[in-house]
Structure 1
Amino acid sequence: MTEAREVSPSPAEDEVVQLCSELIQIDSVNTGELDTIGDGETRAARYIQQKLEEVGYETWFHESVPGRGSVGCRLAGADPSRGALLIHGHVDVVPANPAEWTVDPFSGAVQDGYVWGRGAVDMKDMVAMTLAVARYFKTAGIVPARDLIFAFMADEEAGGYYGARWLVEHHPEHFEGATEAISEVGGFSITVDDTRRAYLVAAAEKGVAWATLKATGTAGHGSMINHDNAVTRIAGAVARLGAHEFPLTRTKTVDAFLAAVTELTGMEFPAEDLEGSIAKIGPVSRILLSTLRNTANPTMLTAGYKANVIPSEASAAVDCRILPGSEDTFREQVAEIVGEGVTIDWVWQPPLEVPFEGDLVDDMKAALAAEDEDGTAIPYMLSGGTDNKVFAELGIRGYGFSPLRLPADLDFSGLFHGVDERVPVDALTFGVRVLERLLRTC
């Protein structure tokens, strides 16, 4: 078992819970629609800017449009010839319905050993941990091994077009020299037996492909026979696509994950029952199972303006997630399933897959092992997407690494965008310790 730490908590450990709570209290909801988004992202970014400048950082701040603020800074390292490490996060969160929650989702309540609220795991926890470590390094005069770039962006929850993508297109100088990055949805633990934990580091992400299906037809009175009905056409296309099951596809990262779990636990993953075997891993399997095949989930339907009027147009939104290696064929497959008479407009972010090897990976493993000798870092694929996709366009190799040691009975994956989102206090302080170790020496 891991022995208790005998050293005193660092200033970063001391303040991370308060930082996380205060960040959650800033309502930075991203609805995805400019006319319904307030200034919450800018207020969150200004809060971070103030905390950074308070300890002596020279920061940059940009609003892509009013209310959509992003902020960052750089800490010089001992060896400027080495590639810089980008540590990035997003300040926006998805909406929350207070009536469904045990606590006010924007209270940042600290109770029962958790920090509660929208963004607690996605991803104001990592933002707080990063901010706490950045402040500690600056005040203590700690010089890391290489340059560290800290960046906190708007709009990740809607594709990053007013955040990371806007920055890459308009201010790439902020990321000059960066070769690698760490960000969200990785580095968290799952308990594999009574004592041992696996820490899942995201070395791959499915691509994000948002499809808008559109059908046209002949407008007319609802009482009359109409064989050219746009609503019928779009409904059929959506039904076919939503019911379609894409084939199982094994990728390099998924195979590496399965091999690592087998080595740790002895579990087998036979091809004839791959999904059933993965489901036995526990709640995180809802993410893992989604990385075995491409998916296309209808999410929105739009048609008509009156019950007795057949409209001339109808549309649907479909959230598609695609595996590495599927980029060249997926759109054609969807078009075939949807059928004739329906057009498809795409918003496309390709999948991402990077090697789970090299000095940074070794350093992540070592930092985790130093804080949890019963823990092992293993690669996995994220079923969603992060801003790592955008930074990959600058040649930056990104990993999901927001280290958290979690209780065995916590359904962590269910908290992302879920009700009663919360993060354990102990997990935040653990994550700070891991990040301190990693960012000093990596």
Structure 2
Amino acid sequence: MAEPSATAEPLATAEPLADAHTADEAVRFCSDLIRIDTANRGGGDGVERRAAEYVAERLADAGFDPVILESAPGRANVVTRIAGTEPGRPALLVHGHLDVVPADPAQWRVPPTSGEIADGVIWGRGAVDMKNAVAMLLALLRSWARHGRRPRRDLVVAFTADEEDTAAFGARFLVDRHAGLFDGCTEAIGESGGYAYHVDAGADADPDAGVRLYPIGAAERGTAWVKLTARGTAGHGSRVHPDNAVAALAAAVVRIAEYEWPVRLIPTVRACLAGIAAALGPPTGDPADLDETAAAALADALGAAAALVAPTLRNSANPTVLQAGSTVNVVPGSAVGYVDGRVLPGHLAEFEATLDRLTGPRVTWEYAHRERPLDAPLATPTVAAMAAALRAEDPAAHVVPYCLAGGTDAKHFAALGITGYGFTPLGLPPGYDYHAMFHGVDERVPVEALTFGIRVLDRFLAGVG
């Protein structure tokens, strides 16, 4: 992980004040928030208002001054500002989302909105993505209020709606309509990063000693949701139809699905590969010497740790929706499909040219929704402070930067010139499949993971300069 520059301020050394009461509050808040159904079904179908009121009430009870901002009926966001002790410093944005993706109760062992706490684990939709992080931050801020503690920098805390769809009712609304709330913010921390990722140390290491990686999100692939349209000649299904829109669309979808995108090595992924390789074994040489072929080979050799880099070695495009026809005996005049595309920083032109080629002459494509890719600098005092906070709580931590395969609200706050990082720390146990919890069945998080996360957040947010 990049070390701080020579002018970097050291991390504050005061011990975290988060105590058992703070941890208990975080667990209770997480459970309560899970029980508030904030499922976002897309297209404007979602309600975060009750969760926003819950969050705002607990902030207000602690003496903060939150404001609820509703972008449409029921689509609510919460923002508050906490004054720092050194007002000349740039402000830091801390953001998390209140909405969750839908869950089918029939597939779950426990009801997804139960918020059940059993055997040291919190169950339910949002336990990881990301009501746990909202709860940790709420509990930590209330702890600060009890102890009269303040950060060095101003903190702007935002809990948003609609992150799981387009953010039109959440972060995008705040950026477009309430940009003044973020005055002075130059950096942000948000979803996905700082969690423990356990891997084997390798054949030459002590077999009982694993390696704990802690990835910090420093880049995100851009969102490129694409609509495909094929047009043909409508007619009776019993006749010959060489100009069949469904067939043309299907052929294009297969070409897209089967295409192997070339490896494209961005700086954050290069640094991630080098950091993981160094943690798992002897140095592999200068990471600057890694070319794209060597990067792919190195990723393949990383075992379980490859999951941190494999999705971000390339652009990607996955067909997800097909729409055509109404009855079996009618050839429709058009057919539509949707593709979830993700684009590495600096590689949009390649993505678009490849889609032009794969769709072919009979299918057109256009963006249904798109968001910019992000790539944040690594050699900064803020990144160094994140790493120091993690190592203070886990001296064996191997901190590495990584690129998120998907996207977060950081894309929208970037429009205000705010550099975003993924940092929602969790002390996860071996065998816990963190990535499978995102949008998965039986989403859950260990209570102890939150206790660790609160202490790391306390160190980082209080001390970062």
Hey, what's the Cα distance between the residues in 2 that align with 1:231 and 1:143? 61
Could you tell me whether the CA contact under 8 Å between 1:149 and 1:175 is conserved in 2?
yes
Assess, with a 3 A threshold, how the Cα gap between structure 1 residues 7 and 351 changes in structure 2: closer, same or farther.
closer
Query: Counterpart in 1 of 2:412?
Result: 390
Correspondences of 1:226-305 after superposition (within 5 Å) = 226-266=241-281, 274-275=295-296, 277-279=298-300, 281-283=302-304, 285-305=306-326
Query: Counterpart in 2 of 1:137?
Result: 144
CA deviation string 1:298-336 (max 9, x = no partner): 000001111111111110010001111102331122111
CA deviation string 1:17-48 (max 9, x = no partner): 111111111110011122xx242x11111111
CA deviation string 1:169-204 (max 9, x = no partner): 011011111011001111111124325412100101
| Amino acid corresponding to residue 121 of structure 1 in structure 2 | V
Could you tell me whether the CA contact under 8 Å between 2:84 and 2:152 is conserved in 1?
yes
Query: Counterpart in 2 of 1:434?
Result: 456
Report the alpha carbon displacement of residue 138 of structure 1 after superposing the two structures with TM.
Answer: 2.4
CA deviation string 1:44-86 (max 9, x = no partner): 1111111111111111111111121111101000111211110
Correspondences of 1:188-207 after superposition (within 5 Å) = 188-192=195-199, 193=201, 194-207=209-222
Q: Root-mean-square deviation (CA), in Å?
A: 1.9
| Amino acid corresponding to residue 398 of structure 1 in structure 2 | G
Could you tell me whether the CA contact under 8 Å between 1:278 and 1:288 is conserved in 2?
yes
Hey, what's the Cα distance between the residues in 2 that align with 1:76 and 1:303? 55
Query: Counterpart in 2 of 1:9?
Result: 19
Could you tell me whether the CA contact under 8 Å between 2:359 and 2:365 is conserved in 1?
no
CA deviation string 1:253-272 (max 9, x = no partner): 11101111122221659965
What SS does the aligned partner of 1:94 have?
A: coil
Q: Percent identity?
A: 47
Runs of 5+ in structure 1 lacking a partner? none
Assess, with a 3 A threshold, how the Cα gap between structure 1 residues 213 and 274 changes in structure 2: closer, same or farther.
same
Residue 212, structure 1, aligned to residue 233, structure 2:
no
TM-score by length of 1: 0.94
Assess, with a 3 A threshold, how the Cα gap between structure 1 residues 300 and 79 changes in structure 2: closer, same or farther.
same
TM-score by length of 2: 0.90
Report the alpha carbon displacement of residue 386 of structure 1 after superposing the two structures with TM.
Answer: 0.5
Correspondences of 1:31-70 after superposition (within 5 Å) = 31-34=41-44, 37-39=45-47, 41-70=48-77
Q: Match for 2:94 among 87, 93, 105? A: 87
Hey, what's the Cα distance between the residues in 2 that align with 1:94 and 1:6? 33
Query: Counterpart in 1 of 2:105?
Result: 98
Correspondences of 1:394-433 after superposition (within 5 Å) = 394-433=416-455
Correspondences of 1:157-168 after superposition (within 5 Å) = 157-168=164-175
Hey, what's the Cα distance between the residues in 2 that align with 1:270 and 1:101? 44
Runs of 5+ in structure 2 lacking a partner? 1-14, 202-208, 285-289
CA deviation string 1:317-359 (max 9, x = no partner): 1000111110233112211111112221212112100111211
Could you tell me whether the CA contact under 8 Å between 1:89 and 1:127 is conserved in 2?
yes
Runs of 4+ in 1 over 3 A off after TM superposition: 5-8, 267-277, 279-287
Residue 121, structure 1, aligned to residue 142, structure 2:
no
What SS does the aligned partner of 1:149 have?
A: strand
